[in-house]
Amino acid sequence: MQWMTSTDGDTALCPSCANSLVGYTPSADHHGAKCGHCGAALIVVSTSSRSTLVAIDRCPEELRLFLAWCQSTLDELEFVSLVVSLEEVLFGGVISTTRDEKTDQVS
Ligand SMILES: [Zn+2]
């Protein structure tokens, strides 16, 4: 069984049961979600080009702890900023997200 799925479209597949999530809209919501088919606890992380779903109960312990810290410490905008920064560090800034210096918000 997988602990994550990653797609490049408007669909998202549950890593636990491989069914498409009903009513899915791409977002960088770091709050928990549940698969409507199997009930797996999930976190959705989307960038401008990909949507990744992580099954919390099956992912590596270090990632589970990191995601729990994000949920308890960061709001949505801070989480998006973290994801953008990590993507830039890991992949050389391949996404087209910008930060407004006046408002300090990612768009
Ligand atoms: Zn499922």
**CATH number for the domain including 62?**
2.20.28.160
Number of domains in the chain: 1
The dihedrals phi and psi of 41, each to the nearest 5 degrees, come to -75, 130
pLDDT at 79: 87
- List pLDDT tens digits, range 36-56: 899 999 888 776 677 788 999
Please tell me the predicted confidence (pLDDT) of residue 32.
77
What residues make up the domain containing 50? 4-106
**Structure-model confidence comparison of residues 31 and 20, the more confident one:** 20
Give distance in angstroms: CA of 101 to centre of ligand 1.
40
Give the distance (Å) from ligand 1 centre to CA of residue 33.
Answer: 11
CA of 98 to the centre of ligand 1 (A): 33
Find the 13 Cα to ligand 1 centroid distance in Å: 8
* pTM of the model as a whole: 0.70
pLDDT tens-place string over residues 66-78: 988 998 999 988 9
Contacts of 85 (CB under 8 A, 6+ apart): none
Confidence of residue 95 (pLDDT cuts 50, 70, 90): low
